[in-house]
Each structure stands twice: as structure tokens, then as C-alpha cells.
Structure 1
Amino acid sequence: MTNFEKLLDEQLSTLCFKPNEIVEAAVVEVDRHKVLVDVGLHTTGELKITEFMVPPSVGDYIQVVVDELDDGEGNLKISHNEVMVKQQLDDVQSLVENKTTVDAKVVEIRKAGLIVNVGYLTGFMPKRQASIEYVEDFTSFLNQVFKVKILSHDQIHENLIVSHKQYLIDEIGGEIARLEAPVEVGGVYEGKVTGIAPFGLFVDIGSHSTVLLHITDINWDLTKAVIEDFKFGDILSLRAKSVVTSDNGSQRICMSLKHMDMSPWEKAKDDFVIGERFKATIYKIEEETGNLIVSINGIPGVVENKDVSWTRMTNSNLNNVFKRGQEIDVVVKGFENKMGFESIVLSHKGCQSNPWESINEKFKVGQVLDTVVTSVSEKMLFVKVEGDVEAIVHVREVDWINPFEAIKSISSGDNVRVKLMEIDSSERKVSASICRTTEDPYKGIVAGTKVLAKVESIRVNSVHLSVLRKGKKLEATLPARYVNTVSRWLPSGEIEVGCELNLEVSMIMSGILYLKPDNSERAQSSFGTGDNPFAEAIKAALKF
């Protein structure tokens, strides 16, 4: 072997790549789709441009990993992204321990949070960790780059959990030191604002969890409780108004800013005399209790559901009659002095005369009224009787034939005619019916009643018919077991849509007439005509 051949063999041996080996390569070409690199002895490999966060330039040296020596077409298969992911994974643990700030780009929005790219790694940012403020729509976060802290690393799935909120908290000096003793009602604690929402502030009081300062606990005067007056990082002195400890020892804490100064409440008790009337503004309608939370000269008050109206009011009633910001008349009944839940106890119905005292004199069971619908739900509706008195109309009293469909066509404000069915002044209840203002089309129909039914449609297991009764079209059905019997009586030998049949009621169920053949001579003779020998033969046989 010549000296040249030996030298060439030595060079080639040093350029023999091994699978998964990381080597340095020179960039020789870059375009919109790919990057070509020289890994030695003019051996080139191709990389997709998408493997790079920032595309390289010609002449740059990058690291690549050799995936395959031959991809089947004589080419070297290499990867750059794989190298970068491996290097960054090696650094993740130190980033978590050192609470290092990194950049994260939002690439996808999901129901529970945001998918982000942290360098060459994929991460997840829960929605509650995306901001210190309440965010309803995260659309604007897409493709944005945020400073984040890496909270944890899932080594199995190689996924990072990151937080932009934690980065912001650290920027204002971190969290409050952990409390040395459990929170007690009435105690005063220092907290830092770490979140802002339309309904209140999230405050870190050092208890290892953030508490909510509700907007109603910011100021005694609800009109002066303005969220915009606060900013992230504000230090507040708060009083604990309630503490609920669970079986596992954790605490649910409610804090208040307004309770740092009790003088406005003490003054309110002097200003509002029991029995006096005032104007109150509705602040909220509580879904669970049906109570009205109101503001009376800025001081919070409550109108309990039983004191809203002389008539029992459901949530549907309340939301139709009362609205947030509406002004109503109230009378002072007393004061709720429980720590943290102080409010003026008010009555709205106390400003009106009791209509139930004379209801039995003005209205009688069976009386028909032309009135208006006040509210509608799937199972019932309410109509106005007089003043605050309303009558309930159950869905089955809306229509004789198809009440569940009929109620869908009724809306609040519609004019209707009802018949009063029950008046109970002691229970403050009136029930009424819409359908009973007309004659019952089912009246007189019992098992054995003869009817003339028109075929509406033919189904697999039955024939659908209608029976005209007192101006109403009643739904009826002929079960499959009777179809052949009835068909033999017809001139054509089969049941057709549109033909009329003399049948007999076997039973009534859920407003549907179940029919069977009428075997009387009158019914049989009604099938066919004297011009049809087949029909005449059948009638003769039946008579026999």
C-alpha cells in the first residue's frame, strides 16, 4: 500500500460516523425550506428550516446528531433539534432550582391552559398561571412571548409547567412570609395584591395560599368599591371576617378591608330607624337563596326572599321582575350584626298592602281571567292575578293535546285567558289553567267509544291517525296487530294515507287514543261499496 493510500485510509477512518453521535457541521446553504450542512469531507446533510428557532447563516457552525448513516438513498440523516432538546433537558433541573426566568412563546390555546415553546422544549402554562388579572378570553395570548418561571419538569413526558404569574410576583419582591400561626377571626393581617378580577382582589397573606378580597368587602359604601383603585403589588392591612377549617386542616379564609374601620356601620345603625322607608338599589340577586342584595345610601342591605313579595317568587320570577341597578322601595326591619356579614335587614313587600287578605273576596275558584304572562319555564308559567299576586299554571294545564310543545310558544308579556283552579290565601298560592277555558276534547271518550279516524301516516309498527273532536285534532294510533284485520275490510285491501276508518277506542294514554277495529255491523258495512264484489263477499261472511 502506498503512502498516499495509507494517509487516505487514516482520514476516512476519522470521518466514520456512528449513529446518535453529535458532530459539528458547517452551514453551506440556507433557503426557505431547508438548511444544508457539511459534516466533513464534503459529506452533506439536510435539515428542515423548522428545526431552528432562529435560522442560521452560511458559514455558521452548528451541532447535529447523526440519526442514520444511510437513509436508503445514500444520504446522511441528521438532526439539529434533537441536539438542542437534549442540551436544554440537561439544564432544566438547575433552571427550576434557581428559579431562572426564561422566555415562553404561546403556540396553542387549550381548555385548561396554554401550550408554550421554551426554547426547543414544549411546556404547559395553566390559565390561572397566565396572569395576575382575571382573563376571560385568551385569544390575544397566541403567538405572544412571555417571561416565565419553570415551576416543575415532568421527566416522563418531558413537559415543563411554567408560570407568567409567578414571574410577576417575583418582580414585586416575592410572596409574603408564611404565617407562624393559623388565621383567627377578627385578626389583622398584612397582604400583598397578587391578582385582580372584576369581582375582587387576590391577596397573598403568607398563609401558603392566596385569599379572595371580594369587592363587597372593600368599602362599606358599595358605590365606592372600585377595583381600578388597586394595582398589583399593593400592600393592604386586612381583617379576617371568617375562617372555615376542613377535616384535613386546611382553611378557607375570607378577608375584609372595610372592617378595618367599623365607624360607617355604627353610624348606619343610628341613621336607619326600624320601620322607616328608604330607596334601595339592587346590587345582586342571589341564585341560591333568592335574596336581593341591595345598597341603601351606600350601605349594604339584604331583602330576604320571603320579604321580596307577597307572592312566592322563584328565580325565574325574580330575574324577570328585578334587575341589577333597579331602584326599589324598602322598609327597615332590623340589623344583622354578625362579624363580617353586617347588613341592614329590609323588606320590599312591607311597602305594599297585603293582597292575600282580600283575595278570597275578589276572586273565586272557576273564575275566568284575561291576564298576562309574567314568566315562563319548561315546566310551568306564571300569570298576573292582581298586584303582586300571581297564579301558577303547570305545563299540563297549558294545552289539552300537546302541552309541552304549547308552552314553548308562550313568552313573558303574552296575553292569555286562564281559569282559576285553586286559591289558598294561607299558603299564598293560586293555581290556574289555560286549557280548561275551552271544552275538554277528551270528555266522553272512554274505552269502547266509536270514532271516525283519518290516516295521517303509516309506520313500521303502527298506523298514525287523527280524530277530530270538538274542533280539536286528537292524536291516535292503531297498533300493528290490528292492521291486517282492518286492511281486509277495505275495498283496496290495504290502508292508505288520507282514508277514514271507523274504529273503537281501546284506551287513552298520555293524550293518545289507542284504537282497535270496530266489529259492529255499522262499522263493517262502512268499509267498501256495493260495486266491489270482494268487499261484499267479506261483509256477507261477517254477517254470517
Structure 2
Amino acid sequence: METENMTNITEEISVEEAPTAAEAPEAAETPVATEAAEAPVVGESAETPEVVETMEDYSKELEASFRKISEGDILSGTVIHVNEEEVTLDLDYFAPGVIKAADLSRDPSFSILADVHVGDKMQGTVIKRDDGAGNILLSCVEASEVIGWDKVQTYLEEKTVLSVKVSETVNKGVIAFVEGIRGFIPASQISLEYVEDLSTFVGKTVDVRVITVDKDKKKLVLSAKDILKEREADRMNQKIAMMAPGTVLEGKVESLMPYGAFVDLGGGLSGLVHISQISQKRIKNPSEVLNVGDTVKVKVLNTNNNKISLSMKAVAENAEPDPVEEKLAAEYSSGKSVGTSLGDLLKGLKL
């Protein structure tokens, strides 16, 4: 009896510990699935490389930490923001720079929104290291007093051509600003000709050179006239270069000299007829055959050194009728045969 009971107990224990048919495959697959999850995916690195930061990555921050900014320093920066009240600069420093509109320029024609753009490079003098909002307060006006005069001195020495905008008229001239410095253009230096109404230049851009710099007296004088003269001379030289020797032109005698006559050819051009080229006969003075204002025909001899040499004598020689051509023309107009021999043509002519 006891033996039968023990047999039953053993069978019950065996049945409880043995896995069922549904559980057996799951148990067998579990280790395989774990290995697959741990294995790296084909094409991917088993480990993500660690990013190593160097001192170069912090070079700007390190440089900025060693910079010492004091009031009065002149700093350069890039414009990163502009509005009607101020300009913000990136100074490559922990704090940005701010320039108020009133500290940007003394030029009355200056417009913060029109004349300043993001990306522009600007310089300013440090007024305050902290404006209360963590910004460095700068002034372009004060900077121009320090660096502007050095720049205009360089412009004077190098004869640099500058484009400036005329802002206002004053007694005997107009005003234009260069590097934030008020410059004076005398009325006699703004044009090649006399200008009665200088107000016509206000708001216009003109090319000038610096002709006077006096930092102590804060005197800056500009001139547009020299540049205009040079450009006019270049234009005239181009015209002269295009004139072909042998060309016959008409002009007016504008002046008489002992050595010849100057003839106005129009368009700003004039040339010299040497006394030996005025007449076929020998004369002692051009006034013997010419008067100022006379209209004359001249032939271009040459244009050497951008000077026009003319001859009235050459025109007169070419204008004289050839005896043979004159008789041929007469016979043709009378209806006679033009089959005349050379002897007949020359017959009756006094050679």
C-alpha cells in the first residue's frame, strides 16, 4: 500500500516539473534570441567613437578671457543687429557692443537704417564697459576724432579719390563728411565752371580728393575740380586720338599769336595753325591774313602728344583746280567728245 502511494507521489512531482509542449520550444529559443540582441548590426560600429575636445576648440573663448577692455579703447566689430535706436556689434568678446544712433555720425544726412547693414564692419571708442544691460557702450563719433584724422591724412598723401555726399551749403561752399569728419568743398573746387546755385549739389554724390588736412584746427578741405580736370583731359585725348591726319575740318580763329593761330574745332577741341601753314605766301604775322572770329578750313597734319597740328595752306593747295581736270570738265559740260588727246588737252594752256 505504501509502495503504491510513493509511486503516485513520484509521478505527480514529475508531471509538475516537466515543461509542457507549448513551453518547451519557448525555453529553447530564449538563449538564441538573447545572443542575437547582443550581436552588433552589420554595417554599424560596435562602439560610438568618443569626441575628444582640444584647446583649439576653445581658442576664441580663451582669447576673450584674457582681453582687458578699458574706456577709451577703440574696438572693431561686425554688425549683427540694427534698429532705429542703436546698432549691435559682435566684438568676439563675452559682451556685445552697442552704438546708439546719436553716436554713429555727425553727418545730418546719415540714416541708421539706410547706411548701416548686418555684416558691416565698424569701429567705436569704448564709452562704458557696461551700459547696465551687460553691453559695452561704444561711440563712432569719438572714434573718428582719433582714427579719422589719420585716415584723411593718408588720403591726402596717396591722392585717394573719395565718393562723398554733399550734406549742406555754407558760405562760399558746401559740406561733405569723410570718415565722420566735416569737410569743406569751396565753390571754386566743386566744378570746372562757375556754379551760381550751390544748393543744386545738396544730396548729390561727388568724387573728391583731400587737399588740406589740419588736425589741430580741425580743418579738412576737399576738391572735385582736380578730378574733373583729369577726366576731361582723358576725354579730350580720346577724341584727339580718333582724329585721322588728312581730315579737313572747319573752325573759328579763337586767338592769334606771333607764331600762329589757334582754331576752335568745336567740342572743346582746338588746334594750332603754325605761321608757316597759314598762307602760301610768306607772312610776318598771322594778323596780316586772319582775324579773331574768322571761319576757316583746316587740314589735320598730326596729333602728336595729344596736340592738334593744323594747316590752312594744305587745304588751299588741294582746292586749286588742276588745269587738265578743269578743261575736261568744261568739255564734258558742253557736250563735246571727251576722247581728246593729251596734246589737245594741253593745247592753249600756258604751262
Rg comparison, structure with higher value: 2
Q: Which has the higher helix share?
A: 2
> Do they superpose with TM above 0.5?
no
Q: Which has the higher strand share?
A: 1
Greater relative contact order, per chain length (Cα 8 Å cut-off, separation 6+)? 2
TM-score by length of 2: 0.44
TM-score by length of 1: 0.30
